[in-house]
Structures are given as C-alpha cells and as structure tokens.
Structure 1
Amino acid sequence: MRTEESPSAQTTGAGFDVGQYAETQLRQGKSLDDLHAELSQQLRDVRKELHRLIDARYEDFLGLSTSLTGIGTTIDSVKPRLSDLYGQISTVHKELAAKLEYVDGRLAHRLAVREKKQMVRVFIDLSQMLDRVSTLLDEASAAGEGGSGSEAEYLKCLERAAADFGQVWYFIEKGGDYPFVEQAGKRMRGLEQRLYTALDDFLAGRIDEFVGSAARGEAGSDAVGLIAQSLCVYGAVDGYERAEEVMRRRMVRPVVGALVASQPGKGMGMDPGAFADMLQCIADFVRRVGAPFAGGIEAHLPSVASTLEARVFWREVAATVLAGLPLLFVPGIPDRFHGNYRAACEFVRTFGGLFSAACKHRDPAVLASEESFVEFNRKWQLSAYFSIRKKQVTDGIEARDGGSEAEIDGVAGASGLCTREAGRALWGMRRIWSRGVYLEPLAARSWQLSLQIVLWYHAAASEAIQQLVRRSKEAGHGGAAPAAEGEAMMGQLLGHVHDIYALRQLSAAHVDGICAGGLVDAGARPSLQAAVGAAFAAAEGAAAGATDFLAAAAVAGGCGGLASHVRRTTSQFRHTNREAPTAASAYVARLFDGLAALERRMRELPSASACARPLAALRAGVCRGVSREMARVAADALATISRTEASLHRLRKAKGPPPAAGSSLPAADGLLVPAGVDLRGREPASDNDKIRRQIWLDVTETGRIAAEAPGAGVHEDYLSLALAIAALGT
C-alpha cells in the first residue's frame, strides 16, 4: 500500500515539482488558502527548530559557520528556483481565485433565478386564490338570492371563501413590495369587506329571526344553528369581535338603549325604585332572549357561548348605562345612591344566575375579568359615599346635626341608657350598620368607624365623669355636698357608670346581630368581639374611677362621725355603773347608709346586668373603707384606754404588778395596747373593760355587715385588728 508523503517530505525531496505539488494538494480538497496556511505553519516550525538547534549547540554552529565555504554560491544557485516556485504558486492562486469568483457569480445568478421563479409562483397562486375567493363570494351571492332554502349553501360558500383568506394574506405578506402584490392587497381588502358585509347581513337577519321567535315564545333553534355556523365563519377570519358587535347592535342595544334613554337627568339623584324597575326590565329581557340564546349557542359552540354573557350582553348593558346615566354613580343624594347601588348589586347576582341556569359550562371568572364589568363596579364612588355618611354620623354624635336629636333620644330611651353621650354612641354605631346606610364593600371602614365611635364615647364619658367628680369635690369636699346637689351628681355619676357597661353589652349584641344578619362573615365574630372589649377597656377604667369616688364619698359620709361615736361610748360607761354591753351600738348600721343609698339608686337604673360589676365594686369599696375606718378608730380608742390605765397605775403607785405586757394590739398611731384584757365575752370587771367590750361588739358588727354584702369584704387593717383582739387572753 502506498503511503502518502508529508508536506515536509514532498518539499525537501529531489526533483520537487511545484505544479505537481499544488495539483496534488488541490486534488485532496485543499484550497489555496489552506495550502498557504499549511506552508506558513511549516515555515514557522522549521525556523523554531533551527533556533532551538543553534541555541543548543551554539559552539558547533559557530565552528560550522567559519568552516563553511562557498555557501553564498549555493544560495545564489537555489534562489532562482525558489523565486520561480513562488511565482508559479502565485499564478495558480490567481487562476483559482478567478475560477471561484466565476462559480460564485453563477451560483448567485441561479439563486436569483430560483427566487424569481418562486415569486412568480406566489403571484400565480395569489391570483388564482383571489379569483377563487371572488368566485366563492359570487356563488354565495347567488345562493343568497335563492331564498331561505339556500341559507346552508350560502354559509358553505362563505365558509369556503373564509378558509382561503388566511392563505391569501400569507401570500400577500410573503410577496413583498411588488406592485402586483400591492394591487392584490387592495383587491383582497375589497373581497374581505364583501365577506364581512355578507356575514354581518346574514348574522343580523338570523338574530332578528331569533328575537322575533323569542318574543312569540318559540324556541328559534333553526336561527340559533345558523348563527352558530356564521360564528364559525367569523372565527375562520378572526372576526369574533365584529360578530360580537353585530350581536350587541342587533340584539341588546335596541332594548337596553331605549330603557336607559327613558330615564331623565343622566342619573343624578335617580329614584332607586325607577332604577330597579329599569334593571328588572333588562333582566327580563336577558331571561327571555339572552339566556336562551347563549344556551342554544352552547349546544353548537361551547367555547364561544361562555363569552357571550360577558362580551355581548354585559358589555352592552354596562356601556349603555355608563354613557347614558353617568351621574348615577355620584353620591350627591346618599340615600338614593345607596338604593341604586344595592339595586345594581342585586341585578349583577340575577344576571349571572340567569346564564348559570342556561349554560352548563359557564365560567364566572369570564364575567369577573371582563373589563366593562370591572369598570362598572369601579365607577360607583363608594369612598365619597362613605365620607358623606361618616360626616352625617359624626355630626349627629357631636350634636352638630339638630335633626338627629329626637332619633338619638329615641334610641337611648328604647335601649335603657341614661346619658346623652351613650345614646349618641349607640345611635352612631347602629346608624352606620343600618340597612339603609351600610354597603358590603364598606365593611372594613364601617367597623373602623364603629371603634372610633367607642373611643369618642370613652373620651366624652371620661370628661363628664371628671367634671362631676371635680364639682362634687368643690361643692362638698369629697361627697358632703348639699343634699339636693349631691343626690343629683350621684345620680349622674351612676348613670355614666351604668351606661359604660350597658353600652358594652349593647355593642356586643350589635356585633352578634351584624354577624347573624350576614353583614359580616360569621367567622369574624370572635375577633370583632375581642376588638369591642379592647375598645371599652379604657371606658371601664373611667367607670372604675367613678365607682371608687362614689365609694369614697359613701365611706366619708357614713364614717364622718365615727370618732365622736366612739368617744361617746367611753363617756357612757365611765363612772356610770351601767351594765356591761351585750349588743353593738346603733350607729354601726348607719355606717353603711351610703352604700344602701347607692344600691337603691342602682336598682332604679334600667339594666340590672349592666349594674352587676359596678355594684360589686361599690360594695367592696364601701365595706373595705368602712372596715378600715372602724379599725383605725377602734385601735386609737383601745390605745387611749390602755395609756390611761397605765398613767393611773403610775399615779396611784398601786400595789401589785402593772398590766401584763404579753400579746399586743397595733394602733393607728403606732402605740401598743397592752394585752391581758378579755374582750371576748367574760364579764367586764371595770369601766374600761366595758368600753373595750362595746368597741369589740361594734367592730364585730361592722365585720358582720360587711361580710353579708354580696361580693364585698373587709380591709386588711380590719383583719389585723380582729386577729390581734382574738389573740388576747389566749
């Protein structure tokens, strides 16, 4: 087998032929550029190897260079041959380049000819298809003139023509900017207009037939079938929007336009009853014509029927109402705006329900995403409406709207409230959630306003309570005001306390009502109740402050003469030889007269449940206060007796031991009462023992009365006194 020589071997062998070498390389598929690159690379490799050899054996190279003789002659003899070789290679390169240029030119010419042939074919096909479309439209016109029996053939011709439209436009776009193509485009637009006109006329006629059948109570299934076929033709030329416009213009617009045009004033302050009647007429039309039409189309074209509700019927209704009644959406008269909005919401629910019953495959998302549906809902100026309602409520609450006074008084009286502030707050909350004011999209704002009303009530009630407390202190130094004035202020304070708790109960019941009535999702009830509780927490703090003041006033009124009564007890038994006491003093029961008066006044208030917490607080406050005062005064009296006995013992220098200093009793001033004196039932041996027994009986009776009061108790100082006395003599 012959082994092909490498380029290096071919170029270094004896008898090297440049032409043969070039021909050999070209025969192997190499171009002149490749051959030039290969020789250049070989030259670089040879030079690199030569430099390496010189560097490695530099001394030998120097010796070789000095020993060479006749090298110049050798070079001169080789140089002509190399020059001839270079010239031959250059000549071959030029010849090959010329041949390549010629071949490229021929190929470009052939490609241009091929493209022109393709364009000619496009022109021919385009002309033939235009002629065919024109012929089909002519056949359709001829079939249409044949009467109703030719409707199927008419539609078939239109459908065949429509099927070619896409290809025609494809060829026109592919044809470029040639004059023939421009003329074809003009002709095609004319044919397209003929097709659309024929389709529009046919669809309009069939729609009129269907509407007439619906008016007569007939099914109109034949007309629906033909309409479905025409919609298929529209779909073949991407003309659904045009078909929808025809259906809106012929089927929906005459009815809806006439109804809207009959309403005066462009909707400003439109009577809700008239608006509801108009919407009811539209709903009746949809029930009679629209829903059966969509249901009939669904049997032929399910995908198209799902869009008829939104894109044909709703779009025309919304556009006509928006254009004909633009002022309907302005809340200039809020009561009418409220009624109109609710009527519109009811119409939307009815509208969707009609199509749900007629179309099995109805998708509610299609209507919800319809641009005209979104625009119709957005047009209602709900924010402006809420601002008007909020101003009405705040004016009524803050007494700026005199017309609401009677209504507020009626709400307060019917709800068992005592103060005007609570009545205003309850009226405001009920007003903003009433059926004639509340709208579903405003639920969050209505709830926020309700909480703001509670905060307003807290501020108003707190201010009123503070003023009453201040007036009471200024008039009578903590509750000892003149009888008539004091009774009036006490009644007002109790009324505010009662209303704070009563209003919270009414607010909680109101939350239950709006959840049960469907105004708010029932699942939100726990969180709403928690929010009500948090909003009333501050107001209940003000109520607690008022009960503390009333309790303090009752304690001050009942215990004002307590020290005098104890002093009179001392004078009753000292040096009088009276029998030892067996019952508490009569003044003890009168210590709780203030509490009895408060309980009597609270029982007269409307709501017993609202009075439960403040009444328990009053009982606890009065009983703790009275028991504290009794402990203080009794401890002082017992300490005084003990000091007196000790002084007398020192003055008389009596024989025997002084009073025992065992267990001791704490007194209010820090002194100790010596123990060793029986205060628990044995016959007193002296006047001081009688006094001590009377004091002990009074203390015991005070604790008994306090313990009998439901939810009440005694003060820690009283317990300390009682425990200390009980420990004496043990």
Structure 2
Amino acid sequence: MAAASSSQDPFELDRLAEELVNREKSRPAVDDDAGHELPIYIPLSHTNPYLTSDVFDVEAFLLSRSHTSLRDLRSELRDYLSTLKEELVKLINDDYEAFISLSTDLRGEGARLGRLKFPLVQLKSQILDSKRQLQVIQDAIQEKLVKRTVLREEKALLHLLLKISESVTRLESLLLIASPVQDDIQKSEMDDDSRPAHLNLVDDSADDRTRGNRAKHLGRVATEYTQLLYHASKARRDNCVFVDEIQWRIDRIRSTLSSDLDHLFSSTLLALTDSRADGKISEVEKAKSIADLTECLRTYDAMGLWRDAEDVLRRDVVRRFVKKSIFPGALNAPPSPIIPHTPFRSSTTPASVASASPLPPRTPYTPFTSFALKTPFQANYGLGSASNSPYAHLLDDSEDPLARMYSQILRFVERDMSKIMGIADKVSLKSLSTGQKEKALTGEKSSDGDGFEIMANVVWEEFGRAIMDELGLVVFAAGRPNEFRKHYETTNAFIRSLEFLAPSVHSVEAMRAHPVYSAFERRWQLPVYFQLRWKEIVSKVEDALSVQRVELSSAKEKHAFVTAQAAAVWVAISACWSAEVFISELSHRFWRLTLQLLSRYKTWLSNSLIPDDRPIPVPADKVGARSATPVDTPSAESVAEDDSILRQYATIILDVRAMHVNILTLWQEEISMILPDAAGEERSNIEDTLRQSLAALTAAALPMSSHIVAILTKRCCDALAPVRSISTQFRAMSNKQMPKEPSYFVASILRPVKVFFGIGVGQGPGAALQEHFLESYATDIFESVAQRYVYHITAMKKTEDSLRRLKKGKKSTFSLFGSSARDDDGKDEERIRAQMILDVEAFGKDGELLGVPLGQSESFRSLTEMVHAVDLPDAP
C-alpha cells in the first residue's frame, strides 16, 4: 500500500498539505483581515518620501517597491517622468507673460542708477567730516572725565589718609601713647620729672578704663585698630608712601595693644585661678572677671592673636601647675590635693558691715573627683554635673601614684581650664558664624589655623610634653610588662577623661592631630611589650607541650580540661584576651597568636598519637580474608597498654571538645566584643578562620577515636570465642532440655563498651564522653561484632558440614539451617538453634540499650536471618 501511494503521489503533496493545515491550526487566532492583508499599490507622486529626500537612496526605494517587478517599475518611472515634464511646461506657460513684462520694465534703469551715484559720494564725505568733529569733541570730554576721576580718586585717597592719620592719633590717645610732638616735649621735660611722660599721661587719664571698663575699652580699641588695618591696606595698594612712613606708629599701636591685652588677660586669669591668694573674690567680682575674660578673648579673636592668648594662658596658669605637679620624683612624692575655689566675703567688705550682718559660710565645691568625671561637651563647664565617663573607675586607685597624679591634673583642668576653654570655644564659633575676617590685614595668616585651640596647644601640649620629658622613663618603660600595661591603661583613661573635658568635638580632633599627641603615642613601645608577653605566654605552653605523653592536670582551676597540655593552651589563649594582658592596639597580634596556639596544640596532638605495633583486629566486614584460627588470648601487658591508650585518648578527645566549646564561647563573649570595629564581611572572615582552626583541631583527634573503637571492638570480639563451642557443649550435656536463657558469654560481649563509658560499672575512662560519643562508638563496635558473630556461625556451619560428611551411614546429620531429622542429633540441632536465637536477641537488646539503631544495622539483620533459618540442607 505504501508503494502504491508513493507511485500515485510522487511529490507527497498530500503530506505537505496536511503539514500546512496543521501549521495554520497551530498559529494563534488572529483577525482574518489583519492576517491576510494584501500589499497596497501606491503610485509614484511628489509626496513619496524616497523621492523628496535630500539624498536619494536607491536600495531603500527598491525595497519599498519590492512587490513590483522591474519591468513594471520602469514603466511607473517613465510615467512619472512624463508627468513631471508636463507640470514643468505648465509652470513655464503660466509665468511666461510675467517674465516678459519684467524684462520690458527694466529698460533704461541702468543710466538712472548711474546718475544717482554722484550725490552719494558727496554725502559720504560730509558724513565723514562730521564724524571727525564729533570724535574730537568726544576725546576732549573723555579727557576731562579722566581728569575728574583721577581727582576724585586722589581726593578719596586723601580722605583715606586723613582717616588713617586720625585713626592712628585716636588709637595712640586711647592707648596713652605719646605722639611724635609729645615725644619732643617729653625730651625737654625729662630733666624736670624723673618719671616718663607716658606714665604721667596714665596718671592724668586714670579713669574707669584702667579698672572695670578696661576690657571693653581694649575691645573698642581693637575694633578701631582693625579698621585702621583695613584702611592702611587700601592705601598700600595705591603705593602711598605715607602709610610706609607711619607704619612704625601702627606697629607701636599693635605692640602696645597686644601688651595691654596680655597684661589685662594675665591679671584676669590670676584673679580667677590663683588659689593661693589670701583674699577670695566675691561672686560679683568673679562674674565681672569672667566678663572681662570673655571680652579679652573676643579681642584676641578679632585681632587674630589666638596664639598670643594661648601663650599667656600657658605661661601664667598651666606651666605653673605643671612645674609643681610633674617632675622626676612626682610619683614618689606624697599627694597634694588641689584646693578648690571657695567663695568667701570679699576683703573689701567693710568690717562694720561684716560684723553687723555676717554671711553664712558656703560649702566648698570641688567640680572634679576621681570618682566622677563630667559629662562630655557640657554647656556649663565645671559647674558640677553628674559623671557619665566610662574611665573614672580606672583612675580611682589611691594606691597608684600615676593615677593619683592624673586625677590631680584632671581636677586642675576642670577647675581652672574648663570655663576658659568653653568661653574661647564659644567666641571662636561666634566669630566663624558671622564670617571669616580678613586675616591678611593683620599680616601673615596663622599657620596653626584660625580660632582658639586651648585644649590642644595649651593643656595637652604642656602636660603631654611634661609627661614625656619628666616621667618618660617610668611611664613608658616596656621592660616591666605588668607595670607598662597598668601605666598604658591608666594613661589612656587619663587621655579619654581629658577629652571628656574638651568643650567640643573639634577640640578633641585638634588634640589628636597635635604633634605632641603623635609623639606621645609613638613613645609607647607596644611591639616590645608584645614580644615580652609572647615570650611569657609561649614559654609556658612549650614547657607543657614538650612532653609527648598525656599528663593529667593537677591545678584546681575553673576550666574543664583534664590534661595539663590542654589546660596550658587554654590558659595561654585566655591570657591573650585578659584585662591584665590585652591592649586594643595589639589586637591583630594577639589574634594571630591565638591561631598559632591552636595550630601548635593541633601539631602536638598529631605527634602524640601513640604508635601501636600490636595487630588490632580488622573490622569484621573483611573476615573473608581472615583464617579461622582462634585468636590468642591477650597478655596482661597488652591489656594494660590498651587501658593506658584508652585513658589517654579519652582525655585528649574530651579536652579537644572542651577546647572547641570554650574557644567559641570566648569568641562570642569577649574576643568579638573587643576586636576593632570591622565591616560585616571582614568580621565574618575572622570568625570563619577561627572555626577552620577549631575544625582542624577536631580532625586531629579523629584517629584517636578510630583507635579507641578498634581496641573496644577487639575486646568485644574476643568475648565471642565461646560461640564456636555451643554445638559441642549441647551435644555433651546429659540433661538435654530446650534452652530458656541466653548463654553466659552474651552479657560480656559489649561489656568493654560499658566499662569504657562507665555504664553500670562505676567510673570509666570515657565516662565524660558518654553524652556525645556513646551512640556513634557503640554503633560502629556493634556492627563489627555482629559481622564477627556471623563469621563464627559460618565457621561453625562449615565444621558441622565436615562432620556430616564423615557420618555417611547416618540418616540425619547436624545442619544448623534447615534439617527435619527426628533423631537425637536433630533434637540437639533444635536446641542449638534455640540457644543461638536467644543469644542473638539478648545481644541485640544489649546493643539497643547502648543506643544502637538495630533497624539500620545490616550485619545484625544478616545475623538474625541466619539463626532463624528454617530450611536445612538434606543429608548426603
């Protein structure tokens, strides 16, 4: 039929038609009109985009007419050409009349245009003459304007010079400086008066400026001086010689103003900070002094003399305290507490008034104590607020002379410097908020930056340099690690507490960026300290690990380690992160040392595997390669050696597990908390590294577990020896009854496992491993013993088969796996089978009590099927 169909349809048109129908059916349903649109014929016209484009693209045009043959396309193009020609002729005919009339109208116009040319030349010459005259007038006006501008500028410059002259004279008058004319008079009067004329002027002009209003007076003088500098800079840009001639007077004004300001600032500081004065200032006078101090600082800031103010503060306040507090024997001298400022009645109070209405004594107030530091960046500096400093307890050690000295320094800074630093910081912030002043007017710009930096340039520079110069050999002595660690901790607590007294975060940043701070940090020889600690820690570990045998720990310490080696490693790792040893700047080195200690302990474990040259029984899954020769009874020496191995390996495995748990706990509770802040991915990598080291340590103990399992398997298999004599025992019995209890040796098969884990027999060497290793060890041992059990039964079957072949005349021979003989041998066989079933069941129950999953044991399943076999081989 196939041949006939192929002959009728050689081109397989039917098949192609069917495929076409199926393909059409498989297409998604669409609108018939949209799916079968025929190409629309668009004739050529002027609106065709391909014909009207700037560049005619032949390929694009042909592709747009792809449905048209070349012959038809040629016909269309010829028709379109004829249409264009007709339209062109029509356009010419329509505009021909207008073209002819245009040529007629233009006749004779050339001569007329030529006549118009001559007046234009004359008109051009007149316009040029007028332009020249206007330019001359414009130049004259511009020259006059320039002269007027020069005169105006000279007049303004003269006014400026007058202002400068008047300002200089006024400043000299305000500062009581003798003018050049007065200098000549003073020279002539020197013979009549022994005192300088300057002092005479001071006496003549003694008013409130020399007393309460002196600070405001200097502030106004500083403002005037700033304006003078501004005017002088403008005049100097015009190259005025007058400014150069009076520059010496400007410099004298500056030096006098600076000197007066320094003197007033110094006297105000002494009034506020000098606790040795007999008469104490009243609250009103104290407030007046603080106001004068604020005004002085504003004046310093206005003039850009921040470093001068810091020099006065350093010289009159800080350096005095440094000299009497920080010296080579300061740590051995008895403590001298700083006397707090206690406001009493003013010494100027009249005695009559004081006796008539005595004021009650005020409670002395000490802002700083070693027990409580002030809150950082407080608004009320040194006014007695509660402490939130986390470093106060580190300086609360009356027995430590260094902590005692630091506490005195902090009390001094808070009592005498905090208020000053706060005021200076506020003045600087206010100055910056109103815009930077033109610092170039005062000369060169300060290289130390703009604004007051009292904490960095005065407080820290003086104390830091004094500590390095006077106490450097004691504080930075790295040769005594315990004292060095204590000094380092105490000094860091002092620095952090000092930063808590800073008026702003910017002050702390400036202090840390100061060169003295960098030099102070470099004085700590942290690498030397680490080397000493490394030697101290590693030497103890190496002493413990130098012994290859396991030694029990004798120390009664709070750790879960049995061996002295593990205890030494744990103590070393704990010491790296203890408060008495750890320094945060050395965290990366202590971390590396921790990993090295774990690696060293792993190496010791690998080298401490006790070599055992005695043959250990091969697991019973390979009994086919073993002979049926009975295993020799182990000697007392080998048993004692195996017991020693079990004890040592059990303690090592216990310590490895304890090390794993304790190290992870130490990581979570301490190490991860005190390591420097790191990104999440970096911290994850650090933890992964630790876990890898612990995993390698655990892997080093795996051979010990295998050795323990091998020894216990050997002992359990030795207890199976009586299995081979069950048949002989039952045949020799006189009272042949069906057994009801398992054999005596079954209870001793898994007894070595129980003895090792201390189950029902007291304390075993692996009692501490019972919770984590009993099930896995018992499962492996049970599987191997079950395989050996199968091997013994198989060997016994082979023996019985050999005996059966020797008893050819008997009808029934012993067959363990399926004989229905009814003679005595058959009854013996039934009793032997029943006994073996009882033994195997008891063996399984014993293993199940140890946590062995019997349902997953292939060897025990084979053993059970073997002893329950019903089909016995026929006798030959």
Matched letter for residue 221 of structure 2: A
C-alpha spacing 1:252/1:727, structure 2 compared with 1 (3 Å): farther
Contact persistence 1:502–1:607 (CA under 8 A)? no
Matched letter for residue 710 of structure 2: A
Choose from 317, 323, 327 the match for 2:463.
317
* Residue 195 (structure 1) aligns with: 257
Matched letter for residue 613 of structure 1: H
Choose from 480, 485, 488 the match for 1:341.
488
* Matching of residue 721 in structure 1 with residue 860 in structure 2: no
Unaligned runs of 5+ in 2: 1-96, 178-197, 332-394, 430-451, 547-551, 619-633, 872-876
* Residue 401 (structure 2) aligns with: 277
* Residue 87 (structure 1) aligns with: 125
* Matching of residue 687 in structure 1 with residue 828 in structure 2: yes
Q: Distance in 2 between matches of 1:97 and 1:136?
A: 57
Alignment of 1:421-500 (within 5 A): 421-443=565-587, 445-447=589-591, 449-465=593-609, 468=610, 471-472=611-612, 474-477=613-616, 482-500=638-656
Alignment of 1:35-114 (within 5 A): 80-114=118-152
The Cα of 1:161 is off from its aligned counterpart by: 0.8
Contact persistence 2:757–2:769 (CA under 8 A)? no
* Residue 221 (structure 2) aligns with: 161
Contact persistence 1:394–1:428 (CA under 8 A)? yes
The Cα of 1:436 is off from its aligned counterpart by: 2.1
Aligned length: 626
Alignment of 1:27-38 (within 5 A): none
Contact persistence 2:538–2:572 (CA under 8 A)? yes
Matched letter for residue 123 of structure 2: L
Q: RMSD of the alignment, in Å?
A: 4.9
Choose from 666, 681, 706 the match for 2:847.
706
The Cα of 1:574 is off from its aligned counterpart by: 3.8
Please give the secondary structure, in 2, of the residue aligned with 1:152.
Answer: coil
* Residue 717 (structure 2) aligns with: 559
Contact persistence 1:675–1:728 (CA under 8 A)? yes
| Per-residue deviation, residues 632-658 of structure 1 (Å, max 9, x unmatched) | 4335545765x5698689x56959xx9
| Per-residue deviation, residues 492-548 of structure 1 (Å, max 9, x unmatched) | 2222112112333444565577489x96899x9x99999876643333333343223
Matched letter for residue 316 of structure 1: E
Matched letter for residue 137 of structure 1: L
Q: Distance in 1 between matches of 2:650 and 2:306?
A: 75
Matched letter for residue 150 of structure 1: T
Q: Distance in 1 between matches of 2:231 and 2:418?
A: 37
The Cα of 1:294 is off from its aligned counterpart by: 2.8
Normalising by structure 1, what TM-score? 0.71
* Residue 262 (structure 1) aligns with: 328
The Cα of 1:347 is off from its aligned counterpart by: 1.7
The Cα of 1:244 is off from its aligned counterpart by: 2.1
Q: Distance in 2 between matches of 1:721 and 1:531?
A: 47
* Residue 342 (structure 2) aligns with: none
The Cα of 1:696 is off from its aligned counterpart by: 2.3
Matched letter for residue 612 of structure 1: E
Matched letter for residue 312 of structure 2: V
Alignment of 1:188-587 (within 5 A): 188-213=250-275, 218=280, 221=286, 223-262=289-328, 277-278=401-402, 280-288=404-412, 290-295=414-419, 309=455, 312-322=458-468, 324=470, 328-329=475-476, 331-352=478-499, 355=501, 362-363=503-504, 366-370=507-511, 371-372=513-514, 375=518, 378-379=521-522, 380-382=524-526, 385-386=529-530, 388-399=532-543, 415=559, 417-443=561-587, 445-447=589-591, 449-465=593-609, 468=610, 471-472=611-612, 474-477=613-616, 482-507=638-663, 510=666, 514=670, 535-560=693-718, 562=720, 564-574=721-731, 579-580=736-737, 581-587=739-745
Q: Distance in 1 between matches of 2:865 and 2:278?
A: 101
The Cα of 1:275 is off from its aligned counterpart by: 12
Q: Distance in 2 between matches of 1:415 and 1:64?
A: 127
C-alpha spacing 1:80/1:329, structure 2 compared with 1 (3 Å): farther
The Cα of 1:421 is off from its aligned counterpart by: 3.3
Q: Distance in 2 between matches of 1:115 and 1:149?
A: 39
* Residue 167 (structure 2) aligns with: 129
Q: 530-539 vs 714-723, which deviates more?
A: 530-539
Contact persistence 1:515–1:521 (CA under 8 A)? no
Contact persistence 1:476–1:482 (CA under 8 A)? no
Q: Distance in 2 between matches of 1:400 and 1:720?
A: 50
Matched letter for residue 570 of structure 2: L
Please give the secondary structure, in 1, of the residue aligned with 2:614.
Answer: helix
Contact persistence 1:421–1:461 (CA under 8 A)? no
* Residue 51 (structure 2) aligns with: none
| Per-residue deviation, residues 164-196 of structure 1 (Å, max 9, x unmatched) | 122111111111132112234442222111111
Contact persistence 2:774–2:851 (CA under 8 A)? no
Please give the secondary structure, in 1, of the residue aligned with 2:579.
Answer: coil
Q: 609-618 vs 188-197, which deviates more?
A: 609-618
Q: Distance in 2 between matches of 1:130 and 1:149?
A: 19
Q: Distance in 1 between matches of 2:102 and 2:131?
A: 38
Choose from 622, 626, 629 the match for 2:785.
626
Q: 628-637 vs 496-505, which deviates more?
A: 628-637
Matched letter for residue 718 of structure 1: F
C-alpha spacing 1:597/1:365, structure 2 compared with 1 (3 Å): farther
The Cα of 1:674 is off from its aligned counterpart by: 4.5
Q: Distance in 2 between matches of 1:461 and 1:219?
A: 77
Contact persistence 1:225–1:300 (CA under 8 A)? no
Matched letter for residue 488 of structure 2: Y
C-alpha spacing 1:534/1:155, structure 2 compared with 1 (3 Å): same
The Cα of 1:426 is off from its aligned counterpart by: 0.8
The Cα of 1:283 is off from its aligned counterpart by: 3.1
| Per-residue deviation, residues 689-724 of structure 1 (Å, max 9, x unmatched) | 232233223222322322333678684311343256
| Per-residue deviation, residues 19-40 of structure 1 (Å, max 9, x unmatched) | xxxxxxxxxxxxxxxxxxxxxx
Percent identity between the two aligned chains: 19
Matched letter for residue 719 of structure 1: R
Q: Distance in 1 between matches of 2:820 and 2:478?
A: 86
Contact persistence 2:660–2:694 (CA under 8 A)? yes
Contact persistence 2:271–2:289 (CA under 8 A)? yes
Q: Distance in 1 between matches of 2:136 and 2:325?
A: 86
Unaligned runs of 5+ in 1: 1-55, 266-271, 357-361, 403-407, 660-671
Matched letter for residue 518 of structure 2: E
Contact persistence 2:398–2:404 (CA under 8 A)? no
* Matching of residue 591 in structure 1 with residue 591 in structure 2: no
Q: Distance in 2 between matches of 1:209 and 1:700?
A: 103
Please give the secondary structure, in 1, of the residue aligned with 2:274.
Answer: helix
Matched letter for residue 567 of structure 1: R
| Per-residue deviation, residues 616-673 of structure 1 (Å, max 9, x unmatched) | 54334333432332244335545765x5698689x56959xx99xxxxxxxxxxxx97
C-alpha spacing 1:138/1:413, structure 2 compared with 1 (3 Å): closer
